[in-house]
Amino acid sequence: MDAAAIGRAITRMAHEIAERNPDEIGLAVIGIHTHGVPLAQRLAGTLAGILKRDVPTGELDIAMHRDDIALRLAPVVGPSHIPFDVTGRIIVLVDDVLFTGRSIRAALDEITDFGRPKQIQLAVLVDRGHRELPIRPDFVGKNVPTALTERVAVRLTEVDGKDEVVMER
């Protein structure tokens, strides 16, 4: 995907989110660190234009909630920042690539530590398959069938200086 394709995918997902939650005052978007965060901000920006009101955004660092600390070196942990109460809201959780589903599992656990949302929906830029947990996305930018050995690299201007999604071996 190039920059234009990423832009179109975000616009389309924003419309789908707005369609699914037309009257939802408490809609908020939370991005998973690192690449989910700028994606969440872009989605929220587009959503705000469609809904004609501000959509609050938050960021989540799931390093403390991972299930593999014993398997590898302790990861770099960063703070999560959710500047609103999640209780009673509809939260759209945003990540760049949906793969095994383990990051999403960790993120769901962490969000519920902040409060009790009314609903959590999942938006991902790329769904590459190979789920290891019963988790499915509500909004998908692009479905990409992959082999387990392949790597999907998402680069975004805010983090990497350019917008692109490429397959790497």
Partner 1 sequence: MKPNWQHKDLLGIQDLTADEIVCLLDAAQAFKQVGERAVKKVPSLRGKTIVNLFIEPSTRTRTSFELAAKRLSADVINITATASSLVKGETLKDTALNLQALHADMIVIRHSAAGAPHFLARFLKASVINAGDGAHEHPTQALLDAFTIREKKGRIAGLNVTILGDILYSRVARSNIWLLTKLGAHVTLAGPSTLVPRVFEQFGCRVTHDMEEAIRDADVINLLRIQHERQRKTMFPSIGEYAAMYGLNRDRFSRTKPDALIMHPGPINRGVEIDSDVADCGRSVILEQVTNGLAVRMAVLFLCSGGKHELTAD
Alpha carbons 89 and 37: distance in angstroms, whole number:
19
> Is residue 88 part of the contact set for partner 1 (CB under 8 A)?
no
> What part of residues 114-133 is at the interface with partner 1 (CB under 8 A)?
114-115
Pick from 2, 54, 109, 150 the residue near partner 1 by CB under 8 A: 109
Stretch that binds partner 1, among 5-13, 49-57, 67-75, 118-126 (CB under 8 A): 67-75
Sign (positive or negative) of CA dihedral 85, 89, 92, 98:
positive
Evaluate whether 24 touches 128 at the Cβ level (below 8 Å).
no
CA torsion angle 121 127 130 134 (round to 10): 10
- Residue 77 as a binder of partner 1 (CB under 8 A): the answer is yes
Site string for partner 1, 7-26 (x = CB under 8 A): --------------------
Q: Which is nearer to partner 1, 54 or 150 (CB)?
A: 150
Nearest to partner 1 of 75, 129 (CB atom): 75
User: Tokens 């383990």 label which residue?
Assistant: 102
Instruction: Using CB under 8 A, pick the residue from 47, 99, 163, 165 that binds partner 1.
Output: 99
Binding to partner 1 by residue 153, rule CB under 8 A? no
- The residues, any chain, with a CB within 8 Å of residue 49's CB and separated by 6 or more, are none
Structural element, H or E, at residue 143: strand 139-143
